[in-house]
Amino acid sequence: MKLAVSVILALATSSLALENGLMRTPPMGWLAWERFRCNVDCKNDPHNCISEKLFMEMADSLAADGWRELGYVYVNMDDCWMAKERNAEGQLIPDPERFPRGIKALADYVHSRGLKLGIYADLGNYTCSGYPGTTLDHIEQDALTFAQWGVDMLKFDGCYSDTSTQAKGYPRMAQALNASSHPIAYSCSWPAYHGGLPPEVNYTLLAGICNLWRNYDDIQDSWDSVLSIVDWFTANQEVIQSVAGPGHWNDPDMLIIGNFGLSYEQSQSQMALWTVLAAPLFISTDLRTISEKAWEILKNKLMIKINQDPLGIQGRRILQENSSHIEVFLRPLSHSASAVVFFSRRTDVPYRYTTSLAQLNFTQNALYEAQDVYTGKIRSLKTSDNFTVVINPTGVVMWYLYPTMHLEQPKQQSDTNFHPFAL
């Protein structure tokens, strides 16, 4: 009897567990929406409209300019790729003028450059921009279509559907994708339609069915927008930090670095904060014309190594200094290392912030090396040493911090001793 119960329990859990084995580290790539939106005017703006040409050119850039080798492998479509109606068989089809060769040919093109293609659909009557939605009766058919085209990822939005449709539809799409012949990573916008918090949002269920999920509002091309997302993620970190891990990630939305709304410092801040949050890195900018400064931030190898750390632990804000408006974030990494971000919310002048690792709750008495992720400079420090970092307004200083020597025999040896919050 006991055995029977545990077999049933195991089966019940396994049917919930994500079976695709994908995205063991946060996904990286390019996503059209923030920069290119629903521009379908190919007549007047052929260079920037949502068309196969745009995705082919982004694929060319990712492959030719060294992005792919750094891990940026997804070329992701968003809304507005579809024709306004399904075809006679009820299938979704791309707009014939903007995608004359069809999605299968686009996927082949992207694959031939060593990249992966992502697509967008919406669980509901319409997509958010008014294109055909995936109602419950179309879920299996659409999953099959995407698999037949060779698509590698689906962003499944939730406009124009109600709570009960979403509760049925998101798990059903997961099953349909898993049942298909082609591995398809699954990005769910479900929590963003329910305030991103329990009890409306069940993160245990989500982690079982989705590789990533949007928790909160859409990013816009502004610093205010970045700050509002960071504020939401920190205000709710007790709830959402622990639900992220290999194969299932919180998604604070796209990187807007390279566009029009962020200064250089703010661009560095978005990259550092997204990295410490173990966030997916989907660049939404024009890779054909990106500036050298944006390029450098997005291509920082140590940053990417931290983002892609195999432990997959999301970081937290560990300190908020109310008087100086300095905040400290920390992400535990493998090999007892940590990423530390000193973030200034100030809008006056560079601020000299003095602290010590002991004040940041590092308990292990050790000698550390701290490598500045942006400048590459390395300094050595002991747990009790005071140090000063100079943080520019709305900017960050980011460290990759690792112990080089224990200074006394630790009571208990484990990877977690060096990290100031329990894993």
Catalytic residues: 157, 218
Contact status: 103 vs ligand GLA (CB under 6 A): no
Q: Which stretch binds ligand GLA (CB under 6 A): 108-116, 125-133, 203-211, 396-404?
A: 125-133
Cα→Cα distances 341→3, 345, 360, Å:
49, 13, 12
Shortest distance in whole angstroms from residue 90 CB to ligand GLA: 22
- Residues that bind ligand GLA (rule: CB under 6 A) add up to a total of 9
Smallest gap, in angstroms, from Cβ of residue 145 to ligand GLA?
A: 19
Closer to ligand GLA at the Cβ: 27 or 395? Answer: 27
230 in helix, strand or coil?
helix
Q: How far apart are the first and last CA of the chain?
A: 36
CA proximity to 279, closest of 399, 395, 187, 393: 187
Exactly one of 52, 95, 152, 157 binds ligand GLA (CB under 6 A); that residue is 157
Nearer to ligand GLA, 217 or 415 (CB): 217
Among 79, 142, 309, 327, the residue binding ligand GLA under the rule CB under 6 A is 79
Distance CA 371, CA 172 (A): 46
Q: Do you know the residue count of the chain?
A: 423
Smallest gap, in angstroms, from Cβ of residue 132 to ligand GLA?
13
Binding mask 163-202 for ligand GLA (x = CB under 6 A): --------------------------x-------------
The closest alpha carbon to 111, from 70, 55, 28, belongs to: 55
Residue 237 lies near ligand GLA (rule: CB under 6 A): no
Beta bridge partners of 401: 338, 370
Determine the Cα–Cα distance for residues 301 and 28; give it in Å rounded to an integer. 13
Binding mask 32-51 for ligand GLA (x = CB under 6 A): -x------------------
Q: How far is the CB of 324 from ligand GLA (least distance, A)?
A: 35
**Cβ closest to ligand GLA, residue 213 vs residue 342:** 213
Q: Which helix (H) or strand (E) holds 398?
A: strand 396-406
> 60, 218, 221, 321: which one contacts ligand GLA (CB under 6 A)?
218
Sequence letter at residue 243: V
Give the residue from 413, 399, 334 showing the smallest Cα distance to 360: 399
Is 95 a binding residue for ligand GLA by CB under 6 A? The answer is no
Give least dist CB 161 to ligand GLA, A: 13
Q: Which of 37, 28, 40 is nearest to 118 (CA)?
A: 28
Task: Give yes or no for residue 128 binding ligand GLA (CB under 6 A).
Answer: yes
> Which residue intervals of 197-337 are DSSP H helices?
203-209, 223-235, 237-240, 264-276, 292-298, 301-307
Q: Are 66 and 295 in contact (CB under 8 A)?
A: no
78 lies in the site for ligand GLA, by CB under 6 A:
yes
124, 74 in Cβ contact below 8 A? no
Instruction: Give the shortest CB-38-to-ligand GLA separation in angstroms.
Output: 6
Q: Which residues bind ligand GLA (CB under 6 A)?
A: 33, 78-79, 127-129, 157, 189, 218
